[in-house]
Structure 1
Amino acid sequence: MTVQINAKPLADFDRPIDMLVDCHRRIEHFLGVIVRVLERYASQPLDSEARQALAAALQYFKISAPKHTADEEQSLFPRMQSVGAITPKTNELLEQLRQDHQTADELQGRIDRILEQWLASDDSLPADSLATLRADLAELKNHYAAHIHMEEEQIFPSAAKALSENQLREMGTEMRSRRGLGNDRHGK
């Protein structure tokens, strides 16, 4: 169960829409890591490899995932709303996506607390924590699947058409800065 936290991204900040898609693949990857660890270790203590995998997933969701949300809510959505080419339906979708981010944050917070408890223990998860983790993880996976589908099939193509090269460049600069990368063209 090898986890590469600093794996090279599929895109760079010169293509910010592609970077957002790359972030989605990382979200899916780290959710999958949690699911695989849970399936394999639900009724037993974690070994060092499982601990490392869960710690990497927790780190991703605590540090990188909020930056992705900010990329959308602070850089992408306002630019889309500033151009006259988007429809009222698109504006409604953007508001729904903002609400989705809140829901995902709440679910992820509950999952993180249980995972931290598990990492701090030398035992298997208690049955009630295990049931809660399974339910919240299934809900989060379904939530992200619908959210990502909406963004990748509707919002990102609309943004690619509606935003100018300058707006996309500014967006990439903001995303890079959000990660403290300065002029570095790559990030996660």
Structure 2
Amino acid sequence: MLSLDALTASAAAPSFDEPLDMLYACHDKVRRFCDQLDALPAYIAEHGRNQAVINTIAGIVRYFDLAGPAHHQDEEDELFPLILARQPDAAPKIEQLLGEHGYLHSRWNAIRDDLLAYNAATLDTISAEEVHEFARLYREHAAREEQWLFPAAAALINDNELADAGRRMAARRTLKPAA
């Protein structure tokens, strides 16, 4: 039986000095959180609502609420414009990825609401079908980006531009003091 705890281990992530490596590492995290999502319904069926489930759900929600959107913004702001500028015929692929970002975000919102309601004990179960479908779609999206987007970025974006992109990606994640 798959333990939720076994899915929470994390590897050291690359730095923003290597933005494409950072984006690949984000996909590794996406896959780990998708694995957690896939394991969750069966784990809940066997063990019910317990602290491990509550903690796992909190971690999944935190990841897909914060890191997922930041990752998409990194791609949309840093990679897409430079690729399009150098390879205009890539527009259909970029449009597909943009559409997938929006669709994944909307699918996430529905799952998120159920996960939070389950954690708050206002929902007795989560939909295994919806959770598995979200995880499948996200894995397929990551695979498409790894097969085309990241290699295209590596081929078309020079080292100085990637370094600048990495600095902007890091700056997006820097908390700014409240005014």
Shorter-chain TM-score bucket reads 0.7 to 0.9
How far has the Cα of 1:139 moved from its partner? Answer: 1.9
- Establish whether residue 167 from structure 1 lines up as the match of residue 161 from structure 2: yes
Contact kept in structure 2, 1:46 and 1:122, CA below 8 Å: no
Residue-pair matches, total: 171
Contact kept in structure 2, 1:51 and 1:119, CA below 8 Å: yes
Where does residue 186 of structure 1 map in the other structure?
none
Q: State how 1:9-88 maps to structure 2 within 5 Å.
A: 9=13, 11-42=14-45, 45-83=48-86, 86=87, 88=89
Root-mean-square deviation over aligned CA pairs: 2.1
Report the Cα distance in structure 2 between the residues aligned to 1:34 and 1:146, rounded to whole angstroms: 15
Report the Cα distance in structure 2 between the residues aligned to 1:44 and 1:26, rounded to whole angstroms: 25
Percent pairwise identity: 26
Where does residue 106 of structure 2 map in the other structure?
106
2:145 to 137, 141, 151: 151
Q: Which runs of 5+ in 2 are unaligned?
A: none
Report the Cα distance in structure 1 between the residues aligned to 2:123 and 2:99, rounded to whole angstroms: 36
Q: Which runs of 5+ in 1 are unaligned?
A: 183-188
1:8 to 3, 7, 12: 12
How far has the Cα of 1:181 moved from its partner? Answer: 7.3
Contact kept in structure 2, 1:13 and 1:172, CA below 8 Å: yes
- Looking at both structures, which has the greater relative contact order when contacts are Cα pairs under 8 Å and sequence separation is at least 6? 1
Contact kept in structure 1, 2:38 and 2:135, CA below 8 Å: no
Amino acid at match of 2:155: K
